[in-house]
Structure 1
Amino acid sequence: MPHSHPAEPHTDHDHGPADHHHDHRPLGRLRHALTPHSHDHTEAILTAEEASAYGIRAAWFSLAGMGATAVLQIVIVALSGSMALLADTLHNLGHLATTIPLILAFRIGRRPRTRRYPYGFKRAEDLVGLLIGFVIALSAALIIWESVRAIVEPRALTNLGWVLAAAIIGAAGNEIVAQYRIRAGRRIGSAALVAEGQHARTDALTSLAVIIGVAGAWLGLPQLDAIIGLVIAAVIVLVLIRSMRTVVRRLMDGVDDGTLERVETAARSVPGVVSVDDARARWLGHRLEGEVTITVPEEAGQASIQAIADEVRAALHGALPHLDRAVVQVRLG
């Protein structure tokens, strides 16, 4: 006789080996830094309300940081005419344009479920992830257009010292914002927030690339500035593709490699579980929902079945700290 048991938050953490399979070689470290890892949850927050509030604070903090950096760069772009700095500035503005919808999505996701939306509104966060990708793609296209124009019709650069200073300040500011966003996104399991952090990190790298454009101008190679703009656009597109993979996967109810294995292992570890017949999980925003069907001995009594189901529920929360709700189906066999 099946029994459904919605899970309650559990505070034990039990990270399996799958959480630590990272390449520690130099190239592997770089790939890990530039690629979103939504399964990194070593500092996961377990309460949905707390996670949403943390995400909103992180978004406001990054909005202020990116805004200050963008304002400074806009002034210097107007003074210098640097295409590489313009590329970096446009990317920053793209982040500003997408941070407000992300904040709104976090707030919408906190609304209670309704009869029309029985699973709530948490998926609004992933929809904003698509918007983030669209806006960043537009900024990359504009950067390519302006850079090609600058190659065909070279423009004289002025105030190179200011451009250099803006690049250094932009790199430092963007990296601070990137670290905060990525840490917050991984902590609460938000693919959209992690993607925003990865884009900010790209801004930090591209701000450093502007220095090359300044060096080219000093060496009498003004077109190098526009070429760096094209390189920046290519890096943006690369990171965009990798970021959107996670967002689209979640919209398609996909999970990270090893997630179901952790669910099955956790359920099997509970005494009294004969077998695990089915395991499912999906992301709703930055929260996971899971479902598992277990078989217990046919002679088990009602009290024993309830106790086993409770232990399975607790084990699932230990294995998946972002888990918000779990359903345990029990079969006798």
Structure 2
Amino acid sequence: MAKLKHIFVPHSHDANDAIQSAQESSGQGIRAAWIGLAGMMTTAILQIFIVAISGSIALLADTLHNLGHAMTTIPLVIAFRIGQRAASKRYSYGYRRAEDLVGVLISLVIAASAALIIYESIDALINPRPLSNLGWVFAAGLVGALGNEVVAVYRIRTGRKIGSAALIAEGQHARADGLTSIAVVVGVVGVWFGFARLDAIIGLFIAAAILWILFNSMRTICRRLMDGVDPGVIESMTTTVAAVDGVVDVDRVRARWSGHRMEADANVVVAKGLSVVDGHHIAEQVQHQLLHTTPHLEEVVVHLHPDLSAGELDELHELSGHHASAEARNRYLAKTRR
């Protein structure tokens, strides 16, 4: 069950394969997008020819999905390019969020293709269409399954390396194409055994599979847009910070995705007698350890708190304390009373 979940549910990153360089990761993403596009277009062109001579609804569904992926590859490449631009005064955090927006666009296009597949399949159930050249359809289904799976493995593996939810989603959609190609093969076998409507029924199963994978992809993309990270990331980062020499306690660690890179900030408690230089050294060590241990992390802002009593804390934050949320202040006060 765990292996099946790993295949069909997108993951944001893989700590063992992570690429830490922002420029290298963008280059890898663009390369994966173009290579995937070439593979899908080759498969789609072959399938368009066979659809024209066979009339297969299931193969048409598979072909439409392939073409949908081909069209969404171009915006993905553009998003990677935009994300490489330097931050500006208007967009002071940079432009990498364009990648997440394209992820939403990809999902909408795939949802539209699923809707069209459902329409065509229902129409074929009501008005059966004669099939011809079944041997060609069968062969095309096998070729489509193999070609799409190769593209899927390459895109998903690269997406996990660079931390790109949009590229992983594209890979998952390519995998859905492979599944639909297998369904086409099953449909042809059904027709050979005298069940003419099985071709259209398989089209409905194709649409259901696409919608399920779409749901899982959208969940990851929406989590990114809401500044969410994978389970265990914050806990791991907090443990890393707490292990740094000179850190008395960890008040708060936050992280969020910006495209396929992560940004974080940490509030760290240190001894109150430290000089500015010594405090900076601890902050530098915290940054260094987090950058080395957290996949796809590009920047960390560290804020130091002196280890004070509750009364001393109030005096220290006299000017800014009333701007802080009650939850944040209570969390720190609870630590000072331990």
Match of 2:254 in 1: 280
The answer to whether the Cα contact below 8 Å between 1:102 and 1:128 also exists between their aligned partners in 2 is: yes
For the residue of structure 2 that corresponds to 1:70, the secondary structure is: helix
Match of 1:137 in 2: 111
For the residue of structure 2 that corresponds to 1:78, the secondary structure is: helix
The answer to whether the Cα contact below 8 Å between 2:79 and 2:98 also exists between their aligned partners in 1 is: yes
Tell me if 1:107 matches 2:81.
yes
Q: Which runs of 5+ in 1 are unaligned?
A: 1-26
**CA displacement at 1:323 relative to structure 2:** 0.4
Letter in 2 for 1:83: I
Larger radius of gyration: 2
Aligned length: 307
**1:25-74: CA deviations, max 9, x gaps?**
xx221111011010323211111111101100000000000000000000
For the residue of structure 1 that corresponds to 2:154, the secondary structure is: helix
Instruction: Judge which range, 254-263 or 112-121, deviates more.
Output: 254-263
Match of 1:329 in 2: 303
If the length of structure 1 is used for normalisation, what is the TM-score?
0.91
Residues 15-54 of structure 1: pairs in structure 2 closer than 5 A = 27-54=1-28
Match of 1:154 in 2: 128
Match of 2:211 in 1: 237
Letter in 2 for 1:198: Q
**1:121-163: CA deviations, max 9, x gaps?**
0000000000000000000000000000000011111000000
Tell me if 1:308 matches 2:255.
no
**CA displacement at 1:186 relative to structure 2:** 0.2
Q: Which structure 1 residue ranges, 4+ long, deviate > 6 Å from structure 2? A: none
Structure 2: how far apart are the matches of 1:109 and 1:152? 48
Match of 1:163 in 2: 137
Structure 2: how far apart are the matches of 1:41 and 1:294? 25
Q: Which runs of 5+ in 2 are unaligned?
A: 308-338
Structure 2: how far apart are the matches of 1:219 and 1:112? 61
**CA displacement at 1:303 relative to structure 2:** 2.6
Tell me if 1:74 matches 2:51.
no
Structure 1: how far apart are the matches of 2:43 and 2:225? 32
Structure 2: how far apart are the matches of 1:37 and 1:186? 7
Aligned counterpart for 1:219 among listed residues 193, 196, 204: 193
Structure 1: how far apart are the matches of 2:224 and 2:90? 21
Higher relative contact order (CA 8 A, sep 6+): 1
Instruction: Judge which range, 294-303 or 172-181, deviates more.
Output: 294-303
Match of 1:124 in 2: 98
Root-mean-square deviation (CA, aligned residues, Å) is 0.8
Letter in 2 for 1:69: T
Structure 1: how far apart are the matches of 2:152 and 2:122? 29
If the length of structure 2 is used for normalisation, what is the TM-score?
0.90
The answer to whether the Cα contact below 8 Å between 1:178 and 1:198 also exists between their aligned partners in 2 is: yes
Identity of aligned residues (%): 58
Match of 2:326 in 1: none
Residues 198-209 of structure 1: pairs in structure 2 closer than 5 A = 198-209=172-183
Letter in 2 for 1:269: A
Tell me if 1:178 matches 2:152.
yes
The answer to whether the Cα contact below 8 Å between 2:13 and 2:295 also exists between their aligned partners in 1 is: no
Structure 2: how far apart are the matches of 1:151 and 1:140? 17
